[in-house]
Amino acid sequence: MIDTAIRGIVFDLDGVLIQSAPSHAAAFEQVFAQYGIHDFEYAPYAGWRTSEVIADVLARHGYSVSAEAMAEMAPTHDAVEPSPGGPVDDTTRERLRALGYAD
């Protein structure tokens, strides 16, 4: 039997419904600034796992980082707040409002 109370299912795919690249870039910039790295560009790393981005960028800048240190950096990346207004684009926000799911 189909549950008629379900009004919809939304699958969030980065870059489709949620424009998360600016938030990810800001988070990585904050992590790398601690190492004096200020030339980070997020675009080549879009879609990579956080730990892989951190390992690659630090290695490219001559750092050797233990797995334990990298494990401590990932939460720093994840703790950065999205930009004001959130990363949801206007069209998606309007569709969610129409469904009764957005402010």
Residue 11 lies in a domain: no
24 near 66, Cβ under 8 Å? Answer: no
Residue 50 lies in a domain: yes
Residue 89 lies in a domain: yes
Contacts of 40 (CB under 8 A, 6+ apart): 25, 28, 29, 32, 57
pLDDT at position 89 is 65
User: Does the pTM exceed 0.75?
Assistant: no
CATH number at residue 81: 1.10.150
Domain that holds residue 73: 21-98
Residue 47 lies in a domain: yes
- Per-residue three-class SS string for 13-54: CECCCECCHHHHHHHHHHHHHCCCCCCCCCHHHCCCCHHHHH
Count the domains in the chain.
Answer: 1
Residue 1 lies in a domain: no
Residue 6 lies in a domain: no
Residue 51 lies in a domain: yes
Residue 26 lies in a domain: yes
For the stretch 21-51, pLDDT in tens is: 888 888 899 889 989 999 999 999 988 988 8
80 near 30, Cβ under 8 Å? Answer: yes
The average confidence (pLDDT) of the chain is 78
